[in-house]
Structure 1
Amino acid sequence: MSDTRIIKKYPNRRLYDTAISSYITLADVKRLVLESVDFQVVDAKTREDITRSILLQIISEEEEEGEPIFSSQLLAQLIRAYGGNMQNMLTSYLEKSLELWADQQRVFQQRTREFMDHNPMNIMTQFAERNLALWRQMSGLDGTRDEENSGFEDPPASSRGPGRHRRDEDSEGPQG
């Protein structure tokens, strides 16, 4: 038994899904596409495969609603490609490009889901704790600051007060 779902199109333009024994709409066919269900649409009278024409009809309706994917320029370029000796190459190129794009979308969605699975408050708390630790280390409030290698100079003599000397002066002895 084939895994391909058969949909019959009758002369009255109605679509009949043989898998569920019920009439369906183009919106239902679109849902099958979105769910990656393998299907084939056949003319009930001639048994001709008309899947492509149904899919083009769905695309046409989608293009009429909302923001279209195909610009007039792109559609004109596609029309020019018909019948040329590069038509098969263009078909292959477009298929591979869309497969790559879909793969990249899946990876992006997976990484986004993984990121969102973490509690955002925990992420922000960890970020704040790292920043606070870094600030404390740089300001010497965490006790790890080495005064000799702090990168800060001693205050000027006028602010050291009377009788106070610089460390380097203290180590060499009084001058004078």
Structure 2
Amino acid sequence: MQSKKTADTNVVQRVIKKYPNRRLYDTDTSTYITLAEVKLLVMDSEPFVVLDVKTGEDLTRSILLQIILEEEANGSPMFTAPVLASVIRFYGHAMQGLMGGYLEKNIQSLMDVQAKFTEQSKGLTPEMWTQFVAMQSPVLQGLMGGNLDQSKNMLTQMQEQMEKQTGQMLGAFGIKR
């Protein structure tokens, strides 16, 4: 088993070696892993580094970009073509150095808002929801009361989905929750 401490945070990172045949070897589990499994490490906020087995070069960003490329090609993409074109235009531009920090700060702000929403909605108990419904007009109570359980379930599902999507988005940018 091989691990690596980062210089700035003293956090032990999982080391994944990339071989010339494009295979990825996880030194913690002593097994070859797929890009999908690397994505799971990202989703679990597991610290890791991908190193070229021959040169020792850090390939982590390259692997993360590969994951983003696969995610964009499959399912529903997060970035539109105009957004991607705008990002490309920043390369070589005088503002290139500011763009990364700008994106990182805004994504962190989004994570903070999502965390606050999650924390606040955890305090929304079924009893509080029932009280809210009781304060509504009789017609609205009839509409809402019949779907009270469904509404509570939907609120819980929405909360979980927001947590999951935020984690995925932030993980794609290499930001921990």
Which category of TM-score, normalised to the shorter sequence, fits these structures? Answer: 0.5 to 0.7
- Is 1:43 matched up with 2:48? no
Q: Which residue of 2 is the match for residue 97 of structure 1?
A: 106
Root mean square deviation, CA, Å:
1.9
Q: 1:108 is paired with a residue of what secondary structure?
A: helix
CA distance in 2, matches of 1:23, 1:94: 33
CA distance in 2, matches of 1:82, 1:130: 55
CA distance in 1, matches of 2:61, 2:83: 19
Could you tell me which runs of 5 or more consecutive residues in structure 2 were left unpaired when the two chains were aligned: 6-11, 138-177
Q: Which amino acid aligns with 1:123?
A: M
Deviation track 1:33-81 (CA, whole Å, cap 9, x = no partner) reads 1111111101111111111110000000110122211110011111110
Q: Which residue of 2 is the match for residue 114 of structure 1?
A: 123
CA distance in 2, matches of 1:108, 1:18: 38
Residues 10/72 of structure 1: CA separation in 2 closer, same or farther (3 Å cut):
same
TM-score (norm 1): 0.66
Deviation track 1:108-147 (CA, whole Å, cap 9, x = no partner) reads 12222222xx2x2x33554466679xxxxxxxxxxxxxxx
Match of 2:30 among 21, 26, 29: 21
Q: Which amino acid aligns with 1:37?
A: E
Residues 68/127 of structure 1: CA separation in 2 closer, same or farther (3 Å cut):
closer
CA distance in 2, matches of 1:90, 1:12: 34
- Is 1:123 matched up with 2:128? yes
Taking only the aligned residue pairs, the percentage that are identical comes to 51
Q: 2:123 is paired with a residue of what secondary structure?
A: helix
CA distance in 1, matches of 2:135, 2:83: 50
Q: 1:4 is paired with a residue of what secondary structure?
A: strand
Pairwise CA distance, 1:11? 1.2
Q: 1:7 is paired with a residue of what secondary structure?
A: strand
CA distance in 2, matches of 1:6, 1:127: 51
CA distance in 1, matches of 2:132, 2:93: 58
| 1:124-139 to 2 correspondences below 5 Å | 124-127=129-132
Question: Rg: which structure is higher?
Answer: 1
CA distance in 2, matches of 1:128, 1:98: 35
Q: Which residue of 2 is the match for residue 6 of structure 1?
A: 15
TM-score (norm 2): 0.66
Pairwise CA distance, 1:95? 0.7
Q: Which residue of 1 is the match for residue 171 of structure 2?
A: none
Could you tell me which runs of 5 or more consecutive residues in structure 1 were left unpaired when the two chains were aligned: 133-176
CA distance in 1, matches of 2:81, 2:92: 19
Q: Which residue of 2 is the match for residue 83 of structure 1?
A: 92
Q: Which residue of 1 is the match for residue 75 of structure 2?
A: 66
